[in-house]
Chain A
């Protein structure tokens, strides 16, 4: 049973449109992450957050932006989508404190296609 939810699962849009990918988790995790993954390829960390009002860029440069106004919510926004943004975007969260082992809990993913 999923405790981390991503919407939409699939999105097809035209170039230049603004899009927001939603991610919510009900586990009370402080840490949240966005990964970008091309089909059959490795995962690339593009954004992460260790708590409310805290966001950092990941290892792979991305034109997207994120916000963390509430603990449970970590949306990703593209102001002007381009075909090069076509990819799968995976949201994840992890515990912090004594129980923190680095284990990530993933959502189902959002597959974005920009025409």
Chain B
């Protein structure tokens, strides 16, 4: 069965610093990959997704992620974070054919002024 590991449960960074949130998945079959963001007391919003094509995916709010098939990773990056990026970030994966989304445990991004 598919599993997703977010390697950091919490990531504190200073405002305007770069950030990387790490995500690894277990399946070696073809996959769809997603990053969701959850602001306090809200539901999840789609940040970006990889379905096919270019391995570098750009999303909303200046975030991007790179699909690395050989390392089964889909790390999320932003070159310069803002206070408003403080949120919980979830990586998720679905296998082609199964279309059932499996979530990671989440990473809490905290931005310090």
Contact = CB atoms under 8 A, between A and B. Distances in A.
A109 B99 contact: no
A100 B90 CA distance: 20
Contact of B42 (A40, A42, A105, A109): A109
Please indicate which of the listed interface residues A40, A100, A101, A109 has the most CB atoms of chain B within 10 Å of its own CB.
A101
A100 to B, nearest CB: 5
A106 B49 contact: no
Contacts, number: 54
B113 interface: no
A96 B104 CA distance: 23
B32 A103 contact: yes
Contacts of B49: 101, 103
Interface residues on B, range: 20 to 34
B99 A104 contact: no
Contacts of B94: 101-103
Interface in A38-76: 40-43
A111 interface: yes
A103 B43 contact: no
Contacts of A40: 88, 106, 108
Given A40-B108, A103-B34, A107-B43, 14 more contacts: A42-B105, A42-B106, A90-B44, A92-B43, A100-B99, A101-B32, A102-B34, A103-B32, A103-B49, A106-B36, A106-B44, A106-B45, A108-B43, A111-B41
What 5 A-B pairs have minimum CB-CB distances, sorted nearest first? Answer: A102-B94, A106-B43, A102-B99, A106-B44, A102-B101
Interface of B: 32, 34, 36, 41-46, 49, 51, 88, 90, 92, 94, 98-101, 103-106, 108
7 contacts: A92-B44, A102-B34, A102-B92, A103-B32, A103-B101, A104-B92, A107-B43
